[in-house]
């Protein structure tokens, strides 16, 4: 038979534990909301830097790609590639939305005279109703292209289909490191960035228009304000709840 004293002690500490866990949960949620707010502000700052870098490089004269003295040039550097298309290597980047329309971007491998291979984003093409992909092979006569260096974010895709020679595949997300390893196994070393081709501008109906950032800095700031307001609201409600509980105890 349990002692009445033990039962009374248990009844006293259980509410205290519940109260402690409740406040710890509230504090954890509060700190989490603040963290999300500061993360959004950090993303806004990153996007602002990206837009500034693009604006700074946009009107710069093209740099001859073979004259670049390093393998990791600055993002958005305008480059002039001279060489040839490796037309056997192409793929489609699926689910690209441009001006509200669904389509895909065509990628092809370009071998520069410097000996470096670069994946070139040739542009966007609208998707047909039956989701048929149009394979537009770059002209073998074309030896010169102009574009800018771009380091794409790594999409978290479950799998990247194996690239096949002269048989373009459909890729859901661009995982460049994985594509690099894949091509290296085939004996081709590929640069750790892509080039978004801007010239020739009109080519096989491809639209050469890209969003530098998918979400503007102002929207990130807006999301940050929302997270901070939620944290502030939680803090106010917690203070009100605490005062009501304390006043209730005083009355009793």
Q: Can you give the three-state secondary structure of the chain, one letter per residue?
A: CCCHHHHHHHHHHHHHHHHHHHHHHHHHHHHHHHHHHHHHHHHHHHHHHHHHHHHHHHCCCCEEHHHCCCCCCCCCCEEEEEEEEEEEEEEEEEEEEECCEEEEEEEEEEEECCCCEEEEEEEEEECCCCCCCCCCCCCCCCCEEEEEEECCCCCCCCCCCCCECCECEEECCCCHHHHHHHHHCCCCCEEEEEEEEEECCCECCEECCCCCCCCCHHHHHHHHHHHHHHHHHHHHHHHHHHHHHHHHHHHC
In the prediction, which pLDDT does 38 show? 96
In the prediction, which pLDDT does 105 show? 95
Least confident of 47-51, 191-195, 199-203, 223-227: 199-203
| Residue in this structure with the two tokens 């699926």, named with its chain if needed | 94
Burial of residue 48 (number of CB atoms within 10 Å: 0-12, 13-18, 19+): middle
Q: Assign 64 a pLDDT band (cuts: 50, 70, 90).
A: very high
| Residue in this structure with the two tokens 């971007």, named with its chain if needed | 105
Q: Give 91-108 pLDDT, tens digit per residue.
A: 999 989 898 899 999 999
Judge contact between 176 and 193, C-beta under 8 A: yes
In the prediction, which pLDDT does 153 show? 76
- Upper half-sphere CA count for residue 180 (Cβ side, 13 Å): 12
How far apart are the C-alpha atoms of 162 and 92, rounded to whole Å? 13
Least confident of 52-61, 76-85, 105-114, 227-236: 52-61
Q: What are residue 36's DSSP bridge partners?
A: none
Report how far Cα 136 is from the mean position of its chain's Cα atoms.
Answer: 27
- Write down the pTM of the prediction: 0.77
Residue 213 has pLDDT above 60, yes or no: yes
In the prediction, which pLDDT does 92 show? 94
How far apart are the C-alpha atoms of 37 and 47, rounded to whole Å? 15
Least confident of 70-74, 101-105, 110-114, 188-192: 70-74
Judge contact between 104 and 94, C-beta under 8 A: yes
How far apart are the C-alpha atoms of 58 and 77, rounded to whole Å? 8
Judge contact between 79 and 146, C-beta under 8 A: yes
**Longest CA pairwise span in the chain (Å):** 96
Burial of residue 65 (number of CB atoms within 10 Å: 0-12, 13-18, 19+): buried
Burial of residue 37 (number of CB atoms within 10 Å: 0-12, 13-18, 19+): buried
Q: Assign 56 a pLDDT band (cuts: 50, 70, 90).
A: confident
Q: What is the mean pLDDT of residues 212-221?
A: 89
Residue 222 has pLDDT above 90, yes or no: yes
More confident residue, 75 or 245: 75
In the prediction, which pLDDT does 224 show? 96
How far apart are the C-alpha atoms of 52 and 59, rounded to whole Å? 12
């Amino acid at each position: 038979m349990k002692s009445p004293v033990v039962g009374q002690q248990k009844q006293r500490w259980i509410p205290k534990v519940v109260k402690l866990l409740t406040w710890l949960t509230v504090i954890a949620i509060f700190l989490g909301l603040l963290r999300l707010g500061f993360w959004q502000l950090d993303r806004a700052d990153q996007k602002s830097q990206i837009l500034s870098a693009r604006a700074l490089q946009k009107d710069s004269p093209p740099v001859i790609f073979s004259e670049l003295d390093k393998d990791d040039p600055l993002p958005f550097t305008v480059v002039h590639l001279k060489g040839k298309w490796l037309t056997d290597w192409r793929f489609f980047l699926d689910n690209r939305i441009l001006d509200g329309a669904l389509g895909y971007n065509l990628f092809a491998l370009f071998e520069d005279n410097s000996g470096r291979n670069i994946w070139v984003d040739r542009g966007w093409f609208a998707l047909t109703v039956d989701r048929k992909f149009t394979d537009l092979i770059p002209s073998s006569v074309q030896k010169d292209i102009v574009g800018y260096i771009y380091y794409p974010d790594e999409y978290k895709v479950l799998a990247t289909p194996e690239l096949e020679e002269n048989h373009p595949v459909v890729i859901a997300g661009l995982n460049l490191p994985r594509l690099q390893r894949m091509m290296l196994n085939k004996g081709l070393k590929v640069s750790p960035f892509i080039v978004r081709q801007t010239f020739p501008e009109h080519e096989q109906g491809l639209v050469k228009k890209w969003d530098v950032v998918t979400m503007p800095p102002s929207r990130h700031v807006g999301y940050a304000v929302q997270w901070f307001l939620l944290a502030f609201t939680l803090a106010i409600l917690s203070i009100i709840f605490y005062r009501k509980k304390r006043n209730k105890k005083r009355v009793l």
